[in-house]
Chain A
Amino acid sequence: MATDGESGDDAALVALIARCATQDGQALAELYRRASPTLLGCLLRILRRRALAEEALQDVFVQVWQRAAQFDEYRGRAIPWLVSIARYRAIDILRRERAEAVDPQELAEREMTSSGDPAELELASAGERWLDYCLNALSDDQRATIRLAYLEGRTHIEVASALDRPLGSVKSWIRRGLRALRECLDSCAIRAPS
């Protein structure tokens, strides 16, 4: 599998999505082959149960197939588009299922199922390389709460109970953390050599 540099992954995925818009089933198959391990990893973090995550993965690719024609009006980059479809689908499923408490056994199972070999997609474009830097510039509380909410699809209340911190503080860490993150990323993007 070619992971050719910076946005090679993304450019290839964009081309595949364009072919999906013309009802090219082989393009969907190739898109699936490349992107499904990353998307399933993301879905498992949120949904925790493999069966549920795989069901969501099906929904994601059916949606990709149906919405491929809208992609080019939507944005240039494929990975955030795919990841967003997956994450929002997972959040919707959580809404439906009512999130359950974390079961340590399921967590262990998840770690086991996560030890697969598939190559990761090149997630971040050059502009987002600063994300680590900017995340590190946040306070520990801000960083931890944003990561929990994003990666595990947790609500404010769930983040508060997971960290055993007051709800009001959690809300404000996330809100201020996001604002600080944006300011940092925007200023880095301006300074970044192109």
Chain B
Amino acid sequence: MRDPSPELIDALAAEYAVGTLRGPARRRFERWIRARSDVAARVRRWEDRLVGLLAGVATVRPSPRVWREIELRTSTRVRTGETVGARPSVRPMRFLALAATLAALVFGVSLYLADARRTWELAAEIAAPQATAPAWSIEIDRRADELRVRAMNAPALAADREHELWALVDGAAAPVSLGLLPQAGEARLTLGPAQRTALARASKVAVSLEPRGGSPTGAPTGPVLFVADVRPPRHSST
């Protein structure tokens, strides 16, 4: 497809920011924003230009229950009593609580067991709320010793950061790292025995933002960006 002229891109960016670009065109344009930093920059310029239109809009104080819900959904309340010290910077219980509440928010998480004849079965799709396409698809080998991860719409990432995939084992104290996610294309993540066991017992996976090379502590240190449901592969007898 030929690239539209800068003038047309800017006109689309303007209509996107104003909100009049709707329907499938809006979703297509959102994919473009994620894929192209120049398009994203044009949209940002328009958001900057237009924000002053709000100047006359009355401010409204939200009812108290709104913040209580936000606290619950982000698990920010459990922070207050926490101790900071020699322990790794992640609080496993908080991570799990956060993961559990986030799980409720993740729209578009779809999972299904693939056709039994396939070697690879789709185990989970990791998608942001509102996303029109999943960020990554996670497929699992039936022997469950390898994951195939495809970056479909991975979010932008600073050069010194990486996305790390974790298995959230029900009832366990800490998530188990499954490896680093690709920004583009496909990656194979080989699972060791501990990871295999963890994944078999996990009902969810999560993605956190980590320093390059992955979490230095072996537990998530950055914010949890995504949580998705996962199911173990179907038994080969079926």
Chain A residues with CB under 8 Å of chain B are: 21, 23-26, 28-29, 32, 36-38, 40-42, 44-45, 54, 57-59, 61-63, 65-70, 72-75, 77, 79-81, 83-84, 87-89, 91-92, 95, 113-120, 123-125, 127-129, 131-132, 135, 146-147, 149-151, 153-156, 159, 174-175, 178-179, 181-182, 185
| Known A66-B102, A124-B52; contact A149-B20, beta-carbon cutoff 8 A | yes
Interface of B is mostly: helix
Q: Could you list 14 A-B pairs, sorted by A, with CB under 8 Å? A: A21-B223, A25-B79, A54-B62, A61-B74, A74-B156, A75-B44, A81-B47, A84-B17, A116-B59, A116-B60, A118-B61, A120-B55, A127-B48, A129-B52
| Known A41-B58, A69-B222, A73-B156; contact A128-B76, beta-carbon cutoff 8 A | no
Q: Please give 19 more A-B residue pairs, beta carbons under 8 A apart, in addition to A29-B76, A80-B48, A91-B26.
A: A25-B77, A36-B66, A40-B60, A58-B73, A59-B105, A91-B19, A95-B22, A95-B23, A123-B52, A123-B54, A123-B55, A124-B52, A129-B52, A151-B53, A151-B54, A156-B20, A178-B14, A182-B14, A182-B46
Contact-residue size bin, chain B (C-beta under 8 Å from the other chain): 35 or more
Q: How far is the CA of A68 from the CA of B209 in the complex (A)?
A: 11
Nearest CB of A to B128, in Å: 8
A182 touches B105 (CB 8 A): no
A128 touches B58 (CB 8 A): no
Q: Which of A28, A45, A54, A69 contacts B63 (CB 8 A)?
A: A54
Nearest CB of B to A20, in Å: 8
Contact string, B154-191, partner A, CB cutoff 8 A, digits 1/0?
01111001000000000000000000000000000000
B11: chain A residues within 8 A (beta carbon): 175, 178-179
Nearest CB of B to A71, in Å: 11
Q: Is B236 an interface residue (CB 8 A)?
A: no
B76 touches A79 (CB 8 A): no
Q: How far is the CA of A59 from the CA of B130 in the complex (A)?
A: 10
Query: Which of A45, A65, A129, A159 counts the most chain B CB atoms within 10 A?
Result: A65
Q: How far is the CA of A132 from the CA of B52 in the complex (A)?
A: 8
Q: How far is the CA of A115 from the CA of B92 in the complex (A)?
A: 44
Q: Is B1 an interface residue (CB 8 A)?
A: no
Q: Which of B19, B79, B80, B158 contacts A150 (CB 8 A)?
A: B19
A80 touches B44 (CB 8 A): yes
Q: Is B146 an interface residue (CB 8 A)?
A: no
Query: Which of B46, B60, B223 counts the most chain A CB atoms within 10 A?
Result: B60
> Within residues 206 to 227 of chain B, which ones have a CB less than 8 A from any CB in chain A?
209, 222-225
Closest A residue to B22 by beta carbon equals: A155
B158: chain A residues within 8 A (beta carbon): 72-73
A45: chain B residues within 8 A (beta carbon): 57
